Structure formats: structure tokens, C-alpha cells
Amino acid sequence: MPKLIIDDIPVEVAPGTSVLEAARSVGITIPHFCYHPALAIAAACRLCAVKLLDGPVKGIQMSCALPAQDGMVVSTTDPEALKMRALVIEWLMLNHPHDCPVCDEGGECLLQDFTIAGGHSRRRYQGKKRTFQNQYLGEGIHHEMNRCIECYRCVRFYRDYAGGTDFGVMGSAGRVYFGRFQEGPLESPFSGNLVDICPTGVFTDKTGRFRARYWDYQFAPSICQHCSVGCNTSPQNFQRETIKIVGRRNDQVNGWFICDRARFDKSYLNDPQRPREPRLDGATCGYDVAVDAAAKSIAEFVRKNGADKLALVGSTRLSLEGMILLAQLAEVAGGAKVCYFDDAGQQQGSLAAAKLLHEENAAYVKDIEQAQWISLHALDLMEEGPMLALAVRKAFLAGAQIFLVAGDMLPAMKVLPFKYTAVETLDQVPFEGGGKGVIICGAGSKDPDLLAEMASSGAKLVMLQPGPNGFAAALLAQQHAAVPLAELVAARQVQGVVCFEADVPEMLLSDLEVLANADWRRGAVEAKAPIFLPTTTWAESDGTAINYEGRAQRFERSRVAGLPLKGLDPKYYGSATEAVSLHPPRVHRKDVPGGAERDAWQVMAQLIERLGGEALEPFSGKWRALRNLDPEGEGVRIFEMGLGE
């Protein structure tokens, strides 16, 4: 453990730690551009200069590329180091445009920060600025090469980290250019990370340019709800609109990055067509009116048909809180059935996976990255868990062998960022070497025997769940011996349903009475339900999700519910008593336009109360341990808390 002194502070760090990281560990940020913890060291920008006053190395050194050694005495404030850093800024500003106010990066720009911090305010250089042509890179990312400071982060991410081959660096000397061979959409499904990783405004999120500055945003720690990997994100909202979504670091899940689906697939959040008003028999009504009606309808149905003819249907996109309360509600309703899946196959696979996995065999992402062999089983990784492809790539780069048991899926698969050997069946994968191997498969619709066979291999397991919160659904389904809706329908065991964020196919609904529906999405259920209760999405609610490896993660409300201010229908400028005045909107309203949505689990709690029960805090009883989950932490694997069974 090297011991060194940085700015008079003694520091002890693990061998191999750079001086820059050592300084960071005691709260000293050494300015840097090219350094990024997730990427290989480039030592290209030369901004992180420090001076070594004593010890095995002396003089000006680049702290990002210098391993901390015993006896080093480092000064980050030595005049020579300051001068070097000031010059680096001056050099970078020779050609950089002086127009932060019209740059979308302004306010969240590393160059802007360090230019100000370094005190660069006078232009000594009398030459012209060089300029470049920009490229069209698709609908996700805007390109502005004049803002480039040649830190090579983008190529080190896109090419080295993510395995993309259509973006790179061209030219030499003062004409290096970061882009594509020819204009066109970036091919990598991880391309959006260029926005986060570029320290300046070269790559900005085209879907949200010039809408707001960093300080305008409302954001909160969140969890991506597109698949069961559960990547950590931070939605950036402005005036009730989710403008951008950026990656949030969690080394146990997604590292620093997210896939493009997580980042760009967000228009549904802001969709003005989202159903936002509670409805009763087709007419808009107050939320409480709708809840009352739903409670009444449930009570009547139970009285008429018996509670066992009623199913409360949830789904894998419901939050854990909602799933827990769904069972409470069923009980209060006199013993109604609960469904967490509609499809039998999905439930079977999902449950089998949840049962098979435990602390020892459920792969951590590090297990994937450090595996000696990895076998992918009939799954489209880029669909079912894109970020894991990058973990597999890390293993691949470190020399792991990758197999793909594809069956007839192969042609449909998207390009994977690693090389693999395609094999026909599971038997052709060499299982021996167990502990250092990882099997990755999708759990939904899988034969439990096949899953069990995989589990018996001794390899670490990744069983991707159908849906973002599939693992939790499986746990609850198991706990409450829930039967999939499709089976109940087939056996004619139910006559009525109340759906909570459940995408039940129309076919299943044909012989059912839909009493009420709570959702933020439109669909077959919504069309059939006489009572509609709009719910919030993950962006507007607090909640908990359990990812494929059993990791419970808390997400927080990142903005209030309601229609985005931008494009707001003028009808909201008026009120019940006053006419619409187009400008200025003089009517003051207490309620947020379209802001009636409630979290699904709160709707359930209200129904419980209306039905005469007492809504328990979702995280009580065996779930108590999850009550204080830190949204900014790494999450907790439920096995560790004995929640696995």
C-alpha cells in the first residue's frame, strides 16, 4: 500500500492507484479532461499536471498516468503545475469557439468549468480559429466538431469500450477529426454515451437540445425500466417534461453507461396523448370519485359473484410497492385472486429463475467481466439486456471464450460487440471450469428443467427476467401462489379483473368484465374499463425494482406529474368559471394540468381503505429490510436479506 503526501495530506492507496485518484480519495480534484475512470489512460490532454517535490519521481508529471508510489510528495498547487495547467487551457482555447451561451453544453461543460477555474481570460494568440464541418450522426446525437478538445474520450469509449467500428478519429496534427467515414446514424446501440462522456459540447442529445440549462433541470436518482438489468439513470426534467436521460454510475450494475434505449426511448413520458384524467363511464371525473367508484364496483362484484371470481392483475412493470399492495388489496377484497403475469410460460420461467438463483450462483456483473467462458442461450442480448453485452465484451477482451447457443435465433440477432462461437446445443459448451464460467439466458418462457440444468453446471448464472421488475413479480407470485391470468381464464375461474399497469392482450379480456384499470399507458384494458385511474410513470413516482440478479434498487420521483408546459393545450389557461385567455394566461390554478396521476401503489392503498381495510406500509413484514434502501447506493441483493425464498 503506497503511502504518499498530496498537498500536505498523507494518503494511503491501493497499489496501482494513480496520483490523480489518490488525490480524489482525499477530496482534491485535480483538473482533467482525458482521464475517465471507465476508460484506459490516454494522458493526452496534459491538464492534470502536478509537481512532485520529493520522492522517487520529481518535477512536473501527469497525475492521471502516474502510479502512486511510496514516498512521493505531491503538490497540486505548485506555481509550475498551475502554469502548465493554465497553458493547457490556453492551448485548448486557441481554437475553441467563445460562445458558451449558444452552446448546448454550457453549464455542464468541463472545459467551461476549468477555463474559468484556471483563470484564462485574456487571449494572447493572434491567429485564426480552425473550423470543421459537422456530420449528421442520426436522430440521437448532434455533432459540433469545432468544440472538440481532442481528449480522445469518445473513441476510447465507442471503439474500445463499446466495440463500435463506425466511429473513430481521422487525420493528424491540428486536424484530427472525430466522426464517421461518411455521414449517417451511429451504429452502436451505446452511442448515446458520447453525450455523457464528451467533456465539451461536441456531442449533445439531439432529442433535448437547447431546452434548458443544467441548473434548470429537476432530477433524481432513477432506474431504467426498459429491461431487467436495472441500469441507473438520471432523468433531466424541465417544466414537467423529461428532456434528457443520462447515465448514473453504479459499478454493481451498469458502470458509468447506459444503452440508447434507456437514453432516447422516452417520448412516451412526455406524450400529450398519455391518459391523464380519471374517467368514469367515459367522462372525466375527480380522482377520488373514480377511486370511490372502483371500490364500489369491486365490492359489488364480490357480493354478486364471490371474491374468487375476481382477479387483481399486475405486471412486471409494476413497482415492488405496487406488487406488495396488490396482494393486500386482494385480501381486503375478500380473497380475490392476484396475477403478476398473464402469460403462463413467462411466469413459469421467471419463477424458476427466481427460485434457482441464490447469493452464490447469481452472477455479479464483475463475475461476467472476469469470466473465463460465457455461454449465451437463445437470447437476443441486445434486446433483453443490452448493457450486459458490454460486460461480456470486457471478458472477451480479457481473453474469455464466448459461446452462443442460438438454435434458429441467429439471423435475427443484432450485432454483438464481441466475437463468439455459435454452437447448436448446450452440450457443446464446455462447462468444466465451472466457477469462472457464466451462463446468460432469458428466463421468461424457458423450460424450468433447462434452467435447472444450467444451474447444475456450477457456472454463475444470469437469467434475464421478462420485464423490468420480473424478479419481484416472480417473488410475489410465488409468495401468493399466484396463477397466471391466462390459466385462470382458460379454466374459467375468473369473471372479472381489475388491472394495474398490466398489458393484458385483448384476446384474454374477451370473456372478462374489466371493472377498473389503473395505468399510464393506453391499451386494450383501458379501452374496456369503465373506470380509469391514471398512474404515474417511474419518472414521476417513487418505487423499487428488483433486477435480474435479485438486486433491489430504489428510484425517486424526478418530477411532478402533469402535462409538460411546452405545448400545453390552451384550454388549461382557463378554468371552470373563467374563459380561456390565450395570453397572458391569467387564470391561476392550484392543480397541475393533467397532474392528477397517482402512483399505482397509492391507488391500491386508497382502494384498501375504501374497502374497509387498513393499508399497510408496503415494506413491512418480511419486506421491512427494504424500507431504507438508499436511492444513491448500489442497491441490495435480496438474498443477502433473506428475501430470496
Partner 1 sequence: MDLPLFRHNRPNRVVTFDEYREEGGFEGLKKAFSGMSPNDVQQAVLDSGLRGRGGAGFATGRKWSFVPRDLPGPRWLICNCDEMEPGTYKDRVLLEHNPYSLIEGMTLACYALGVRHAFIFIRKGYEKAAANLARGIEEAKKAGLLGEHILGSEHSIELDLHLSAGRYICGEETALINALEGKRPNPRSKPPFPAVKGLWQGPTVVNNVETLANVPAIVANGAAWFKGLALNPEGAGSKLFCVSGSVKNRACIELPIGTTLGDIIDGACGGMRDGKKFKACIPGGASTQFLKPEHWNLPMDYDTVVKAGSRLGSGGIIVFDEGHCLVEATLNLINFFARESCGWCTPCREGLPYVKEILTRIENGRGEEDDITILREHVKYLNYTFCALAPGAMAPLDGLLRDFEDEVREHIVKKKCPLK
Partner 2 sequence: MIPETLKTSLQARVASAITAREAAVDVMKELQAHYGWLTDEAVQEAAALLGLSPLQVEELATFYEMIYRRPVGKKVIHVCDSISCWCADCDKIIQYLKDKLGVGLGGTTADGMFTLVPCCCMGMCGDSPAMSVGGVPYGRLTPELVDEILEAERHKP
Residues that bind partner 1 (CB under 8 A): 41-47, 49, 60, 62, 65, 83-84, 87-88, 91-92, 94-95, 124-127, 149-150, 152, 169, 171-176
* Residue 152 touching ligand SF4 (CB under 6 A): yes
> Is residue 303 packed enough to be buried (19+ CB in 10 Å), middle (13-18) or exposed (0-12)?
exposed
What does 505 bind: partner 1, ligand FES, ligand SF4, none (CB cut-off 5 to 8 Å by kind)?
A: none
Q: Which C-beta is closer to partner 1: that of 2 or that of 594? A: 2
Q: In what order do the strands lie in the sheet with 283-284?
A: 283-284, 279-280, 531-534, 513-519, 496-500, 310-313, 337-339
303 vs 134: CA distance, rounded Å: 68
Residues 160-179 contacting partner 2, CB under 8 A? 165-172, 177
* Residue 130 touching partner 2 (CB under 8 A): no
Contact residues for 194 (Cβ-Cβ < 8 A; gap 6+): 141, 154, 157, 158, 186, 203
Residues 37-96 contacting ligand SF4, CB under 6 A? 96
Q: How far is the CB of 87 from ligand SF4 (least distance, A)?
A: 14
What does 482 bind: partner 2, ligand FES, ligand SF4, none (CB cut-off 5 to 8 Å by kind)?
A: none
Element (H, E) at 331: helix 320-332
Q: Quick one: cell of 277?
A: 384524467
Binding letters toward ligand SF4, positions 181-220, x by CB under 6 A: -----------------xxxxx------------------
**Closest among 318, 324, 330 to 621, alpha carbons compared:** 324
264 vs 442: CA distance, rounded Å: 24
* Residue 547 touching ligand SF4 (CB under 6 A): no
Q: How far is the CB of 392 from ligand SF4 (least distance, A)?
A: 25
Q: How far is the CB of 33 from ligand FES (least distance, A)?
A: 5
* Residue 153 touching ligand SF4 (CB under 6 A): yes
Residues 41-100 contacting ligand FES, CB under 6 A? 43-48, 62, 64
Q: Which C-beta is closer to partner 2: that of 168 or that of 585? A: 168
Among 2, 4, 24, 33, binds ligand FES (CB under 6 A): 33
Contact residues for 114 (Cβ-Cβ < 8 A; gap 6+): 31, 33, 47, 85, 89
# of chain residues touching partner 2 (CB under 8 A): 12
What does 334 bind: partner 1, ligand SF4, partner 2, none (CB cut-off 5 to 8 Å by kind)?
A: none
Question: What does DSSP say about strands 168-170 and 73-75: parallel, antiparallel, or unpaired?
Answer: unpaired
Q: Which C-beta is closer to partner 2: that of 159 or that of 296? A: 159
* Residue 15 touching partner 2 (CB under 8 A): no
**Closest among 147, 131, 174, 180 to 33, alpha carbons compared:** 147
How is residue 208 annotated by DSSP?
G
228 vs 474: CA distance, rounded Å: 13
Residues 287-326 contacting ligand FES, CB under 6 A? none
Q: Which C-beta is closer to partner 2: that of 107 or that of 168? A: 168
How is residue 414 annotated by DSSP?
P
Show the CA angle centred on residue 448, arms to residues 443 and 452, nearest 5°.
95
Q: Which C-beta is closer to partner 1: that of 70 or that of 453? A: 70
> Is residue 487 packed enough to be buried (19+ CB in 10 Å), middle (13-18) or exposed (0-12)?
middle
Q: How far is the CB of 195 from partner 2 (least distance, A)?
A: 20
Q: 3-state DSSP call for residue 348? A: helix
Q: How far is the CB of 71 from partner 1 (least distance, A)?
A: 19
- The one segment of 30-38, 95-103, 443-451, 472-480 that binds ligand FES by CB under 6 A: 30-38
Q: How far is the CB of 200 from ligand SF4 (least distance, A)?
A: 4
Contact residues for 608 (Cβ-Cβ < 8 A; gap 6+): 325, 328, 329, 332, 614, 615
Q: Which C-beta is closer to ligand FES: that of 87 or that of 641? A: 87
Q: Which C-beta is closer to partner 2: that of 173 or that of 283? A: 173
Contact residues for 492 (Cβ-Cβ < 8 A; gap 6+): none
Residues 90-149 contacting ligand SF4, CB under 6 A? 96-97, 99-100, 103, 105-106, 109, 111-112, 147-149
Beta bridge partners of 250: 255
Burial per residue of 209-240, b for 16 or more beta-carbon CB atoms within 10 angstroms, e otherwise: eebbeeeebbbbbbbbbbbbbbbbbbbbbbbb
Q: Quick one: cell of 22?
A: 489518490
Q: Which C-beta is closer to ligand FES: that of 61 or that of 537? A: 61
> Is residue 522 packed enough to be buried (19+ CB in 10 Å), middle (13-18) or exposed (0-12)?
middle
Among 181, 210, 591, 632, binds partner 2 (CB under 8 A): 181
What is the binding site for partner 2 (CB under 8 A)?
165-172, 177, 180-182
What is the binding site for ligand FES (CB under 6 A)?
32-35, 43-48, 62, 64
What is the binding site for ligand SF4 (CB under 6 A)?
96-97, 99-100, 103, 105-106, 109, 111-112, 147-154, 178, 198-202
